[in-house]
A = this chain, B = another copy of it.
Amino acid sequence: MKARLGGEEGKHKFVLKTPKGTRDYGPKQMAIRERVFIAIITCFKRHGAEVIDTPVFELKETLTGKYGEDSKLIYDLKDQGGELLSLRYDLTVPFARYLAMNKITNIKRYHIAKVYRRDNPATTRGRYREFYQCDFDIAGQFDPMIPDAECLKILHEILSELQIGDFLIKVNDRRILNGMFAICGIPESKLLTLCSTLDKLDKMPWEEVRSEMVGEKGLSPEAADRIGEYVQLHGGMDLIEQLLQDPKLSQNKLAKEGLGDMKLLFEYLTLFGIAGKVSFDLSLARGLDYYTGVIYEAVLLQQENDHGEESVSVGSVAGGGRYDGLVGMFDPKGRKVPCVGVSIGIERIFSILEHRMKASGEKVRTTETQVMVATPQKHLLSARLKLISELWDAGIKAEMMYRKDPKLLKQLQYCEDTGIPLVAIIGEQELRDGVVKLRDVATREEVRMSLQQVSEVFPKSSWSQKALGFPGAPLKSCIVDLADKCSFLLAL
């Protein structure tokens, strides 16, 4: 991906690359990305979400004090006079700023956009400095755990639909963690910094996390050990009931509240039929400062390693939780708007699908062209330009070669290379007869028809169908009228 350049004339002395931790998406990658986005957007819309967009940068102070220890990863813009700006670190803080600024107290929205983190990413594992987040959030004062349960249902629907292998959704609650720390004798002031440490449990063993707690965070070894016992617990309704009986934990007000809500959540998840994929896990902490209640994270259980190639190791692919205080941090009077949301990190999902596509050798069409306009003799450029113009005006996806006199074989080869299924051939004879020869690239069957008939072969599709029809699909549904005129049209 790199090439150090030093042209003979000394003109080109620079590195030809994308910035560290970023990448281009070529047409094949974009075809995969489009499919993933459509699956996700479809799900968000199925749940009645509106969509918003915000600028890629915010005032620096908007982001200050929201991300705890991760704040050092924020990209700042250079001070070029005027406001101090930073690239957004996630879509949650801009959402909260948007709500406070527009005094919105009730909204269900999604937002799909790139976010920026000056991390040291392992790009082979699908981690980047510029990456997409697909966020769905519900803001408003509602009855407990109903919107929270819907977020988990959405997560379950999306991960199922994408078919990226088995997954598990871990849930916990900041209030339960808070209570757990309290009964282990740890002051509340250490809660957030300890959550950051605890959050590393999916990447390092408990022993290392423990030594960071004792060493860096100043915990007593005894307190750390007491925590160690709790964070090994995970289960379902049974564990919730067990902890509700725990003599110490059940006496802590916050923990009791959190456990009560966790019980409610599992009841709703059972009604949704998804409790089997959800694990109440006391080791889950989530690194960000702004969570106040339930938190969750989805992890993939299987690795893609069918072909003996380097495995695409993936961990967390989505996460989220409740953040009831964040909007209030932006409101002049501190008015709170309770929020809960889920964020899908599609880069890892994308890595898996891309890897699978490559391994399978599946050929992906990167255009949707329905018909190639071709000429078999010289001096027919005008006829080609006129015909293709009529096809475009009729809403038909058509291409031609940008040559005055291309060879017919080259034009047919282009169709084979790019997967165009039909060729509209206009030669001297066709021009005289006022017809076009329509040819099936695969079977080589041909049929002569009038210009009028050609455009009727492809009826005008609606805006939305035209926009997102996937390769292959549009054409099949297009052949409606002239099927009796030639057998191959039926077969398409």
Contact A3 B332 (CB under 8 A): yes
Chain B residues positioned under 8 Å from A47 (CB to CB)? 392, 397-399
Q: Evaluate contact between B468 and A467: CB separation under 8 angstroms.
A: yes
Interface string of A9-20 (1 = CB under 8 A from B): 101101111111
A277-333 contacts to B, CB under 8 A, are 329-333
A331 to B8, CA, bound (A): 12
Interface residues on A, range: 35 or more
Contacts of A149 in B (CB 8 A): 385
Within 8 A of B (CB), among A206-257: none
Are A153 and B392 also in contact (CB < 8 A) when A23-B55, A56-B56, A466-B45 are?
A: yes
Evaluate whether A473 and B464 lie within 8 angstroms (CB atoms) in the complex, with A14-B62, A46-B398, A143-B404 already known: yes
Cβ-defined contact, B76 with A46, below 8 A: no
Interchain CB contact under 8 A, B82 and A75? no
B389 pairs with A272, CB closer than 8 A: yes
In the bound complex, CA of A50 to CA of B118 (Å):
31
Report how far A389 CA is from B267 CA in the complex, Å: 14
Chain B residues with CB below 8 A from A396, complex form:
46
A55 near B12: Cβ-Cβ < 8 Å: no
Please tell me if the beta carbons of A52 and B75 are within 8 angstroms of each other in the complex: no
Known A-B contacts A55-B18, A56-B130, A101-B17; A42 and B463 likewise in contact (beta carbons under 8 Å): yes
Distance of A160 from chain B, by nearest CB (Å): 10
* C-alpha spacing A153/B464, complex, angstroms: 21
Query: Looking at the complex, which of A178-186, A364-372, A437-445 is the stretch in contact with chain B?
Result: A364-372
Q: Are A403 and B332 in contact (CB under 8 A)?
A: no
For A106, the closest partner residue in chain B by CB is B402
Are B402 and A101 touching (Cβ within 8 A)?
no
Interface residue ranges of A132-155 to B (CB < 8 Å): 138, 140, 142-143, 146-147, 149-150, 153
When the two chains form their complex, are residues A98 and B24 in contact, meaning their CB atoms are under 8 A apart? yes
Q: Tell me if A273 and B76 are in contact (CB < 8 A).
A: no
Q: Which residues of B contact A101 (CB under 8 A)?
A: 1, 3, 16-18, 24
Report chain B residues within 8 Å CB of A329.
11-12
- Residues of chain B with a CB closer than 8 A to A467's CB: 38, 41-42, 45, 468
How far apart sit A56 and B18, CA to CA, in the bound complex (Å)?
10
- Bound-state CA distance A395–B470 (Å) is 19
Interface check A462, CB cutoff 8 A: yes
- Interface presence of A100 (CB below 8 A): yes
Are A397 and B1 in contact, with the CB atoms below 8 A? no
Q: How far is the CA of A116 from the CA of B407 in the complex (A)?
A: 44
Which of A25-33, A166-174, A425-433, A446-454 lies on the face that meets chain B?
Answer: A25-33
- Inter-chain CA distance A466–B50, complex, in Å, is 15
User: Which residue on B lies nearest to A148, using beta carbons?
Assistant: B402
- Whether a CB of chain B sits under 8 angstroms from the CB of A413 is no
CB-based nearest B residue for A138: B402
Note all chain B residues with C-beta closer than 8 A to A7: 332-334
Closest to A23 in B: B55
The answer for the CA separation of A418 and B18 in the assembled complex, in Å, is: 44
Q: Determine whether A205 belongs to the interface, using a CB cutoff of 8 Å to chain B.
A: no
Question: Chain B's nearest CB lies how many Å from the CB of A487?
Answer: 26
Q: Please report the C-alpha to C-alpha distance between residue A462 and residue B287 in the assembled complex, in whole angstroms.
A: 38
CB-CB under 8 A from A146, the residues of chain B are 381, 402-404
- Whether A463 lies near B19 (C-beta < 8 A) is no
Q: Within 8 Å of chain B (Cβ to Cβ): is A488?
A: no
In the complex, whether A363 has a CB less than 8 A from a CB of chain B is no
User: Which A residues from 21 to 76 make CB contacts under 8 A with B?
Assistant: 22-27, 30, 33-35, 38-39, 41-42, 45-59, 61-62, 75-76
In the complex the two chains form, what is the Cα distance from A77 to B151 in whole Å?
35
The answer to whether the Cβ of A114 comes within 8 Å of any Cβ in the partner chain is yes
Task: Please determine whether A395 and B46 come into contact, CB atoms closer than 8 angstroms.
Answer: yes
Apart from A14-B62, A146-B404, what 15 extra A-B contacts exist at CB < 8 Å? A7-B333, A12-B331, A16-B330, A22-B57, A45-B397, A46-B392, A48-B367, A48-B368, A48-B397, A56-B56, A56-B87, A56-B130, A142-B403, A272-B389, A273-B389
Q: List 13 A-B contacts (CB under 8 A).
A: A7-B333, A7-B334, A9-B334, A11-B334, A12-B330, A19-B85, A24-B52, A24-B53, A45-B467, A47-B397, A142-B402, A272-B385, A462-B473
Q: Which 6 A-B pairs have the closest CB atoms?
A: A142-B402, A27-B50, A22-B55, A48-B399, A464-B468, A76-B78
